[in-house]
Structure 1
Amino acid sequence: MKTTLLILASTTLVSQLASAIPPLPPEGKRWVRNEKFSDEFNGTELDSSKWFDHHPNWTGRPPGIFLASQVSLGDGFMKIQSKKLEEKMTVRGVDYDIAGGAVVSKTTDAHFGYYECRFKAAATTMSTTFWLSTRKQYPVPGSEGDKFGQELDIQECIGREGDFKGKYFASGMNSNGHFWYNPKGGETQDLRATEAKVKTEKLASEAFNTYGGWWKDARTASFYLNDGEPKDMVFYDKILDEPFPHPMGLNMVSETYPFPWIELPGKEELNDPERNTCYYDWVRSYILVDADAPTPEGVELVPLYEEEIDLSDAFDSHEPVKNIIIPFSYKANQDRNIELQIRDSEGKVIGESNFKALTGYANTSKTIELKDAPKSGSYTVTATLSALDSDDAKPLASDEIKTLKLGK
């Protein structure tokens, strides 16, 4: 049987991490951008191939109504502006006197993956939100007519505090997983996942923040505020063992919350342009593919990362073996070349590998076969990321293990 050695190495970062990145992917996987649910909002009009400027099957929670007139693009942002209506609007017998807005994906096939959005909340009690949901109900397998829907709230917030129960929604990250259970002949039940909230002192309207959600599978998700430590969630599973199996649509919405839980916004704040607008800088979505699998069609090569390569961050002593597994991660804005080398104490290259690194953020490994049977001692491992098919030898990024010990 062929013997291999797993190298875990200490690293020195060459550069700072980008301002927003997905979590480290699972071993052997790579994050690639899912363009259907991504937008940098750098134009002057909403991309109508991706987004509705309203919600296709929801008018809004009274007294707030979604109006396309409140959605705009400019200065690199997608904006939703609230206002107090001069005259009430009545839709299907329901009265509305506050205008909000909704930007909603046209497709509803967002499935397992990472979804993140950078935004600054309006400084009112209107919501600023980022979430996924189904737009229809699905039958509960094995039941006699029961149905269910899914809702994954990555961030729900308001922009100011006050004397009301829900004032905590003005800060931090408030994530929820709703299993909407509709038993035949009964009322819909909101069966919620385990709580996953991140508390902060700063209001959501004071600065831009990045809110990310990793929908891992039909049972679990994790949430990240500004790329911090994850908050994990387990979906309610007393009805179905896998309660979140279906794809969903993506939503960015400013709405009114139910009074008296959240105080309704007053006319002064609703009509104040310094307070009444939420700003969405971008939304980005990613799917996991095998690290060496071809990049799926439709992946736009938008520079998302500060490109880097990182060897693993610990190492140990091992018996000398000829085939050495080197684990590493990299971030690349386009296909790149990676070179891995192992050198002895005299600087002689005793093993190396050159290969193409595909676009994205990958966590993978390569096996290097040494030229000669290794002896006990200290070795150096280097990794470089460089332009593909280029005569320029200068690396874009590099990392090095100062000492790899073989033998006791």
Structure 2
Amino acid sequence: MLPLVLSLMAVSADEPDRSAWQDYKVDVRVPIARSSERYPLSDQANKGGWVRYDPMWDEFTGAALDTAKWHPTNPDWKGRQPAAFLPSNVRLSEGKLHLTMRREEPPEPLRAEGYHTFSSAAVKSTGTVLYGYFECKARAMRSHGSSAFWFYRAEQDQWTEIDVFEIGGGAPEHKRRLYMTVHVFHTPAVKKHFQIGGIFEAPWDLADDYHVYGLEWSKEEIRFYLDGHLVRRGPNTHWHQPLHMNFDSETMPDWFSLPREEDLPSTFSIEYVRAWKRADQPSAAGKEERR
């Protein structure tokens, strides 16, 4: 996520009613059987009428990142200090995308801007998307560096964000916590930033293994899933802007604290990311852009 407040509390009178958001205490250890790779894990019968959306579907089986779909860094942001995003920390191997955090000095131009000691990684989609179901299978890094799957777009008249997860996989008290947050930085109707966040406490350390994380984003509602189980939902009151998809790792000194030298390098690995659109919502696709 972009570098503003980390508190999960409301900060604006423009914020919608937090009580409308619901968290679910479900036993995610109960497996949901996957009978088809064609549909979201939470909807194997495809009751939602999901159709594969290729621009944001990637199994990461190639020899290199598909630059038609992804930037090998975030072209609009150099990272959360002190760590700087470096494309050299992004690689594909064994059918997975790997984002690595290291203890190393960034190049001089970045040091002059205040980056130091650490490097990290980011990939950002070249295109934007409005509504859909988005699922990744990933393993968080086991350090104080963050592992994140999120959507955002910062425009002059509108800036919104959906954080599917942020995980501090090696940070004490955070290892089992799945942080899910929605932000509005500004819109024509909202002039002050607010955020609404939730936490799901998993029964295991999230860096121990790969898990399936899902976002169902419609005009009416936003839903978050872990291993096919619905863990959080709320009304979609503000998130109607086409957004870029992102995976990244950041230093979070005021939240997870800085990584320990003995824990680095550490790697956030993504086995796949899959995307679907509803067959009955073709109008949403017309609003998407690429750059």
What residue is the counterpart of 2:16 in the other structure? none
> Deviation of residue 74 (structure 1)?
0.6
2:77 partner SS: coil
1:90 touches 1:96 (CA, 8 Å); kept in 2?
no
> Deviation of residue 49 (structure 1)?
0.7
2:36 touches 2:44 (CA, 8 Å); kept in 1?
no
What residue is the counterpart of 1:254 in the other structure? 249
* 2: CA distance, partners of 1:29 / 1:261: 37
2:65 partner SS: coil
What residue is the counterpart of 2:289 in the other structure? none
Letter in 2 for 1:149: W
> Deviation of residue 198 (structure 1)?
2.1
* 2: CA distance, partners of 1:196 / 1:16: 26
> Deviation of residue 159 (structure 1)?
1.2
51, 76, 83: which one pairs with 1:57? 76
- The alignment of Structure 1 onto Structure 2 pairs a total of residues equal to 249
* 1: CA distance, partners of 2:131 / 2:71: 22
What residue is the counterpart of 2:26 in the other structure? none
Structure 2 unaligned segments of length 5 or more: list them. 1-31, 286-291
> Deviation of residue 262 (structure 1)?
1.8
> Deviation of residue 261 (structure 1)?
2.4
> Deviation of residue 41 (structure 1)?
0.4
Deviations 1:253-294 (A, max 9, x none): 01111x2322100222123xxxx1111100001000139x9x
* 2: CA distance, partners of 1:179 / 1:36: 25
Q: Tell me if 1:94 matches 2:124.
A: no
What residue is the counterpart of 1:161 in the other structure? 171
> Deviation of residue 154 (structure 1)?
0.5
Q: How does 1:125-140 map to 2 (within 5 A)?
A: 125-138=144-157
Q: Give TM-score, length-normalised by structure 2.
A: 0.77
> Deviation of residue 95 (structure 1)?
2.8
What residue is the counterpart of 1:176 in the other structure? 181
1:29 touches 1:290 (CA, 8 Å); kept in 2?
no
Structure 1 unaligned segments of length 5 or more: list them. 1-14, 139-147, 236-241, 297-408
* 2: CA distance, partners of 1:211 / 1:98: 27
2:161 partner SS: strand
Letter in 1 for 2:178: M
Structure with greater contact order relative to length (CA < 8 Å, sep ≥ 6)? 2
201, 204, 207: which one pairs with 1:205? 207
> Is the alpha carbon distance of 1:189 and 1:64 closer, same or farther for their aligned partners in structure 2, counting shifts above 3 Å?
farther
Q: Give TM-score, length-normalised by structure 1.
A: 0.56
What residue is the counterpart of 1:107 in the other structure? 127
Give me the identity figure in percent.
26
Question: Which deviates further from its counterpart, 222-231 or 203-212?
Answer: 222-231
> Is the alpha carbon distance of 1:47 and 1:231 closer, same or farther for their aligned partners in structure 2, counting shifts above 3 Å?
same
Deviations 1:203-245 (A, max 9, x none): 111000010000111x53001100013410235xxxxxx4111
Q: How does 1:113-152 map to 2 (within 5 A)?
A: 113-138=132-157, 148-152=158-162
1:177 partner SS: strand
Q: Tell me if 1:191 matches 2:194.
A: yes
Q: How does 1:20-31 map to 2 (within 5 A)?
A: 21-22=39-40, 23-24=42-43, 30-31=49-50
Deviations 1:344-386 (A, max 9, x none): xxxxxxxxxxxxxxxxxxxxxxxxxxxxxxxxxxxxxxxxxxx
204, 216, 225: which one pairs with 2:218? 216
2:55 partner SS: helix
Q: How does 1:370-385 map to 2 (within 5 A)?
A: none
What residue is the counterpart of 2:35 in the other structure? 18
